[in-house]
Amino acid sequence: MKRILIVLTVAIASVLSLNAQVTISKKSIDTYKKIKPETIFIQQNKTLIFSGEQLLYKVYCLNKDNTVGISKIAYIELIDENKEKIFQHKIALNLATGYGDFTIPFTVPSGNYKLIGYTQWMRNAGSTNYFVKDIYIINPFAENQAGIVLNNQKEAKQQTARVQSSVIKLQLDKKIYQPRKKVSLEIKTSPNKQSFGNYTLSVKKLNNISVDTAKVTINNYLQTQFNTLKNNFQMNGKSFLIYPPEHKGQLITGKVLDIKSKLPAVNKRVALSIPGKKFVIKIAETNQFGEFYFDLDKEFEGDKAIIQVSDSKRDNYKITLSTKAIFDYSKLQFKKIELSENDLKAIKKKSEYIQIENAYNEVKKDSFIKNEPKVTFYKPDYTYKLDDYKRFPTVHETMIEVIDHTWVTTKRGKHTFFVRDYKSTRKEDVLPLLLIDGVMIQNHEDLYNFNIKDIETINIITDKFLFEKKVYGGVISVLTKKTDFTPISKGSYLLELHLTKPLLSKKYFNQNSSNKAYQRVPDYRTQLLWNPVVNLNTNSLPISFYTPDSKGIFEVKLEGFTFDGAPITVVETIKVE
């Protein structure tokens, strides 16, 4: 697809960076009107899939010109005829693409399902503005087969059509192979680089079982999708309600209200923390509507967040989170799977192969590609690992005997921590920033009474510390042994929430039958290769894979977009006999 990034003016950037909110003023709405509508397209490995098999998919986020959409997060769902979710995935998009997978459980009954994709920004064009494609699941191991009807008039079909391209060629070393033999494939591109782009390569066995479904290809979908697509922002008095684009990463938005007046609390600091050794802490400020936002634009290790109003009068406020975009699935139609007697025989044979393959899952695992979270907070001036010192029974005594740069005052039964400045004076004019596992501590009693046995490290930053437009009298950052701190002081000003992370990237299993480790392992794979990250930037790309023990016709398919935005599909077939 085109490598065209949306270039925003300084005014547009400031709106998106500082006021990416659910409520938008009339003055700012023009900024959002300049952002093009976008859509999602999903490539998946199979339309008909059995329980125990992997549904593999790749996501494209595109706007009208086939250029990259603005969103960095996509949502993928599989729903049943009752509109219940079998799964919901959050996918991080890099240059408008991402990918994921889901193994169909043996608890899911046979039937017609819908694979759905959307971004939060897409909701502005209507509640039915989402990508949808039919998926048919056959669960031969379940008693309930209400999703299947018998039709002996139905003829089995096999789609083996070859699809060619004038700019890309799939060159195979031969067309017919024996089981467990190496297949050498070369992807050849045009000399003028016009076929360079981002693609998915899939090699799968073609089913003798066919289902009646509309064929959704990149070409026919994009030709119709943008004809009438338009964002419609809802008026709300003198402002607008919008679904903001997640243009940096996951977006968390909410609102702060004054409890007594029930009015929006304006210009209030709100802190978000994701606890951990490599914790995340961010500060936002409420806008004229009392709303705030946080962009989670980097990798993080925790799965929970604490959001709280940072204010000496925090008990006067209530914090709520905005609801996520909701789409309307009510008009989706589901139909039965029609099977013949011949189909049932093929299903019985295939179910045996699935059981064999699942018995060897441990030696055929995909591997995760982990991106380690970066340390997002500042480097401490002093670090104290408490096990390196004599352990004292309380935090107070530890501060006196071990930590050289802090002290504690007691006034009217209340304790307050302070950090010495660079002149080692004992000024008590500015409070330090207190953190436990990255969670902001506003009530100093919580740290004072904390169980010292649970503390592993205390980090200190001395002197005045400017953090998100506020000056603190240094920093005391405590890390616990389990880094799982839960707030002690709570109220309506604080929320705890579970975070759903985007799926981790994977390298999908590609069995090498020449490896001795696999020579005694049965091979009844139907998906021989799945590579959702084929970045073509050369005139020739060699790829290899191995045929399985089972015989039949296999489809070799390359599909995706050139960097100029042109959709490309190339299909060849091979035979194993």
405-414: pLDDT as tens digits: 899 999 999 9
The mean per-residue pLDDT over the stretch 206-230 comes to 74
The mean per-residue pLDDT over the stretch 209-230 comes to 72
pLDDT at 155: 66
Does pLDDT of 325 surpass 60?
Answer: yes
pLDDT at 214: 66
- Which one is predicted more confidently, 204 or 4? 204
Does pLDDT of 375 surpass 80?
Answer: no
Q: Confirm if 112 and 78 have CB atoms less than 8 A apart.
A: no
Asked if residue 405 and residue 481 are part of one domain, the reply reads yes
Convert the pLDDT of each residue in 288-312 to its tens digit. 999 999 999 888 988 999 999 999 9
Token pair recorded at residue 50: 């059995």
Asked if residue 60 and residue 111 are part of one domain, the reply reads yes
Q: Confirm if 27 and 21 have CB atoms less than 8 A apart.
A: no
pLDDT band at 66 (very low <50, low <70, confident <90, very high): low
Asked if residue 193 and residue 134 are part of one domain, the reply reads yes
pLDDT at 324: 81
Is residue 373 classed exposed, middle or buried when 0-12, 13-18 and 19+ CB atoms within 10 A define those classes?
middle
Neighbours of 145 (CB within 10 A): 16
Asked if residue 331 and residue 187 are part of one domain, the reply reads yes
pTM value? 0.92
Asked if residue 430 and residue 334 are part of one domain, the reply reads no
pLDDT at 156: 57
Residue 499 lies in a domain: no
Asked if residue 467 and residue 406 are part of one domain, the reply reads yes
Does pLDDT of 4 surpass 50?
Answer: no
- Give CA–CA dist 174/184, Å, rounded: 8
| 368 CB-side CA count, 13 A | 6
pLDDT at 370: 81
pLDDT at 15: 41
Token pair recorded at residue 125: 């064009």
pLDDT at 22: 72
Asked if residue 182 and residue 84 are part of one domain, the reply reads yes
pLDDT at 208: 80
Question: What's the structural domain count of the chain?
Answer: 2
Neighbours of 545 (CB within 10 A): 21
Instruction: Identify the domain boundary among 431, 459, 488.
Output: 488
Asked if residue 217 and residue 146 are part of one domain, the reply reads yes
Does pLDDT of 10 surpass 60?
Answer: no
Cβ within 8 Å of residue 359, ≥6 positions away: none
Does pLDDT of 16 surpass 60?
Answer: no
Residue span of the structural domain in which 101 resides: 10-228+327-370+504-576
Residue 310 lies in a domain: no
Does pLDDT of 471 surpass 80?
Answer: yes
| Helix ranges restricted to H, 40-177 | none
Token pair recorded at residue 401: 């005997």
Instruction: Identify the domain boundary among 434, 453, 488.
Output: 488
Does pLDDT of 542 surpass 80?
Answer: yes
Tell me what percent of the residues of the chain surpass a pLDDT of 90.
Answer: 73
pLDDT at 28: 86
Is residue 365 classed exposed, middle or buried when 0-12, 13-18 and 19+ CB atoms within 10 A define those classes?
exposed
pLDDT band at 159 (very low <50, low <70, confident <90, very high): low
pLDDT at 423: 63
Asked if residue 548 and residue 424 are part of one domain, the reply reads no
pLDDT at 147: 94
Residue 527 lies in a domain: yes
Residue 472, SS3 per DSSP: strand
Q: Confirm if 375 and 278 have CB atoms less than 8 A apart.
A: yes
470: phi then psi, degrees, rounded to nearest 5: -130, 140
Residue 1 lies in a domain: no
Asked if residue 527 and residue 405 are part of one domain, the reply reads no
Least confident of 32-41, 134-143, 207-216, 463-472: 207-216
> What CATH number did the domain enclosing 400 receive?
2.170.130.10
Does pLDDT of 454 surpass 50?
Answer: yes
214: phi then psi, degrees, rounded to nearest 5: -70, 135
- Give CA–CA dist 312/39, Å, rounded: 45
Does pLDDT of 211 surpass 90?
Answer: no
Residue 259 lies in a domain: no
Residue 400 lies in a domain: yes
The mean per-residue pLDDT over the stretch 535-555 comes to 95
The mean per-residue pLDDT over the stretch 62-90 comes to 92
Token pair recorded at residue 297: 């634009």
Does pLDDT of 2 surpass 60?
Answer: no
- Give CA–CA dist 100/74, Å, rounded: 11
Instruction: Identify the domain boundary among 462, 488, 514.
Output: 488
Residue 156 lies in a domain: yes
Asked if residue 414 and residue 349 are part of one domain, the reply reads no
Asked if residue 71 and residue 104 are part of one domain, the reply reads yes
Residue 188 lies in a domain: yes
- Average pLDDT of the chain to the nearest whole number: 90
Q: Confirm if 514 and 183 have CB atoms less than 8 A apart.
A: no
The mean per-residue pLDDT over the stretch 426-439 comes to 88
Convert the pLDDT of each residue in 17-53 to its tens digit. 333 337 888 888 988 999 989 999 999 999 999 999 9
Does pLDDT of 257 surpass 80?
Answer: yes
- Give CA–CA dist 294/253, Å, rounded: 6
Neighbours of 134 (CB within 10 A): 20
